[in-house]
């Protein structure tokens, strides 16, 4: 929408305030009163303004009707909505107001009952949630937003100062463009509010619960977090939406690109597999897939293990660690160009060194803010695919040994490490590993044997010996050839989901070759 060329400014003579979040309320009320604006308020809002020494007209005084039903009904009245919705340029509307003794309301300041915060609290009951569904608030917001040709609506305390400044500067009037912008924001707020209520009800065992536990209707309402320089390629425009930058904080470097954000997501997903209390973990990623990962006592040691997997690929890649990025690690990664360095924190010494190069980004992630249980979705023509995240993590504890030979304790540790990594490699995926590092990675192949051969070839090219390694496969071997190629490369134990009609042939091949093999029963395709 755009304002007509001659759209008039609207005078603010009376404001109605009814807020749950009292942030900035008194300051706003004082500023409006100084401008000669009459203040009308309800309940706790009126009380807060009065305590600040401001003269306030109660909504019940305006309507002639007392609040009822424990405050559920107080602003749902013609003298409220008539004053908000009346068109100032329509004689019939003005005549209706005069007959009913209704005064105009020029500014509506409302924020809603904290429904989202209530349901986010541990142990919040359904009754508590229902009581935090606001009725009068959204009605007033929508009335003022609909009638933004004449009235203004404020739903965010962050906008108070700017609106007060315009009122002071422009003789207590607001422009059409300001009213229109505020109306647009108001409708976005009520849409998000209703979506939150719907999501709660449809996922909470009531109105629209489906047997699969997924919502009956998907609402997506995310604020624009920022523009990106371009998409996957320079000719594609792109932007980022949502709260990503509340989870990931930029400490240095230019803004992230579309591809950077995708890679950072992959990096955070992988590093989330490793508990910092169990050791320092590091992964190096390129093009949304790991090219190496390691475990050690220190982040620098873990990085060296990861780097040794594939010294050719880390140039221009992503490095993520699960412990504080220290000076030793900073010195190690400073030897080559890396696009993005990610850690839960950075020491001052590490930051001092790493900030010397302008063409790298330093990101601090907040693991306590990341919800790994969020639904995954992907855009398709005409809709969105939605799935639960791939969080299965205890498969190794229940894996079945299907061969005559059992894995040794060292092999089990290596298999567990490889299994954590292979789920983050694009399918078809193969990882050769030791107990504390990857040795070769093959991913994105169109056949499983090709993934094995690619990993084997990479290991040979960079000088990594695979003798005595273990092999992890994200899905079953459809034929014995992939397994045989892995054993030829040096693997002595294998972990895979199983589930092929040819499993007996693959197991027989493993027994013939004298290796140990585990079936997890869980596949980890990543497309």
Nearest alpha-carbon partner for 497 in 473, 465, 521? 521
Please classify residue 385 by burial: count the beta carbons closer than 10 Å to its beta carbon, then call 0-12 exposed, 13-18 middle and 19+ buried. Answer: exposed
Pairwise CA distance, residues 36 & 38, whole Å: 6
72 CB burial (10 A radius; 0-12, 13-18, 19+): exposed
Sign of the dihedral defined by the CA atoms of residues 42, 48, 49, 55, in that order? positive
Cβ atoms of residues 138 and 187 within 8 Å: no
Give the Cα separation of 443 and 289 in Å (integer). Answer: 8
- Give Rg (Cα) of the chain: 31
Active-site annotation, residues: 146, 287
CA end-to-end distance (rounded Å), the chain: 40
| Three-state SS sequence of 422-441 | HCCCCCCCEEEEECCEEEEE
Give the SS3 label for residue 135: coil
Concatenate the DSSP letters of all residues of 255-266 into one string: PPPHHHHHHHHH
Question: Cα–Cα–Cα angle for 269, 306, 325, nearest 5°?
Answer: 70
E-assigned strands of 253-299? 280-286, 289-296
Peptide bond before residue 428 is cis, with ω within 30 degrees of 0: yes
């Amino acid at each position: 929408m755009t304002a007509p060329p001659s759209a008039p400014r609207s005078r603010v003579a009376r404001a109605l305030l009814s807020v749950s979040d009292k942030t900035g309320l008194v300051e706003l009320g004082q500023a409006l009163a100084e401008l000669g604006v009459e203040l009308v308020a309800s309940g706790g809002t009126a009380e807060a303004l009065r305590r600040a020494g401001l003269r306030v007209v109660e909504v019940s005084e305006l309507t002639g009707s007392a609040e009822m039903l424990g405050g559920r009904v107080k602003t749902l009245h013609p003298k409220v909505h008539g004053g908000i919705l009346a068109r100032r340029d329509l004689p019939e509307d003005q005549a209706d107001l005069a007959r009913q003794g209704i005064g105009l309301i020029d500014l509506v300041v409302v924020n809603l009952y904290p429904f989202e915060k209530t349901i986010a609290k541990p142990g919040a009951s359904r009754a508590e949630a229902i009581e935090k569904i606001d009725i009068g608030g959204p009605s007033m917001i929508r009335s003022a937003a609909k009638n933004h040709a004449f009235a203004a609506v404020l739903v965010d305390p962050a906008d108070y100062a700017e609106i007060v400044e315009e009122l002071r500067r422009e003789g207590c009037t607001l422009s059409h463009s300001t009213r229109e912008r505020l109306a647009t924001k108001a409708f976005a707020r009520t849409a998000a509010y209703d979506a939150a209520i719907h999501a709660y009800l449809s996922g909470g065992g009531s109105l629209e619960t489906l047997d699969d536990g997924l919502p009956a209707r998907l609402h997506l309402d995310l604020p624009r977090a920022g523009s990106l320089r371009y998409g996957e390629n320079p000719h594609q425009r792109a932007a980022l939406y949502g709260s990503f930058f509340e989870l990931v904080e930029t400490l240095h470097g230019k803004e992230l690109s579309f591809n950077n954000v995708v890679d950072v997501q992959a990096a955070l997903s992988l590093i989330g597999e490793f508990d910092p209390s169990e050791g320092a973990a590091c992964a190096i990623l390129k093009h949304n897939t790991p090219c190496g990962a390691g475990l050690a006592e220190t982040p620098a040691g873990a990085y060296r293990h990861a780097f040794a997997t594939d010294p050719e690929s880390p140039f221009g890649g992503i490095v993520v660690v699960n412990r504080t990025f220290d000076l030793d690690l900073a010195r190690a990664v400073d030897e080559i160009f890396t696009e993005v360095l990610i850690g839960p924190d950075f020491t001052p010494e590490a930051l001092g060194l790493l900030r010397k190069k302008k063409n790298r980004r330093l990101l601090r992630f907040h693991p306590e803010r990341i919800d790994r249980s969020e639904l995954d979705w992907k855009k398709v023509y005409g809709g969105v695919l939605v799935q639960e995240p791939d969080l299965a993590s205890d498969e190794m504890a229940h894996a079945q040994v299907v061969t005559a030979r059992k894995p040794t304790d060292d092999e089990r540790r290596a298999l567990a490490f490889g299994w954590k990594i292979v789920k983050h490699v694009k399918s078809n995926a193969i990882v050769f590993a030791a107990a504390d590092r990857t040795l070769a990675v093959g991913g994105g192949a169109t056949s499983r044997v090709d993934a094995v051969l690619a990993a084997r070839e990479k290991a040979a090219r960079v000088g990594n010996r695979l003798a005595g390694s273990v092999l992890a496969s994200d899905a079953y071997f459809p034929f014995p050839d992939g397994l045989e190629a892995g054993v030829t490369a040096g693997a002595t134990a294998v972990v895979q989901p199983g589930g092929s009609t040819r499993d007996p042939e693959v197991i027989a091949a493993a027994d013939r070759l004298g290796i140990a093999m585990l079936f997890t029963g869980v596949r980890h395709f990543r497309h």
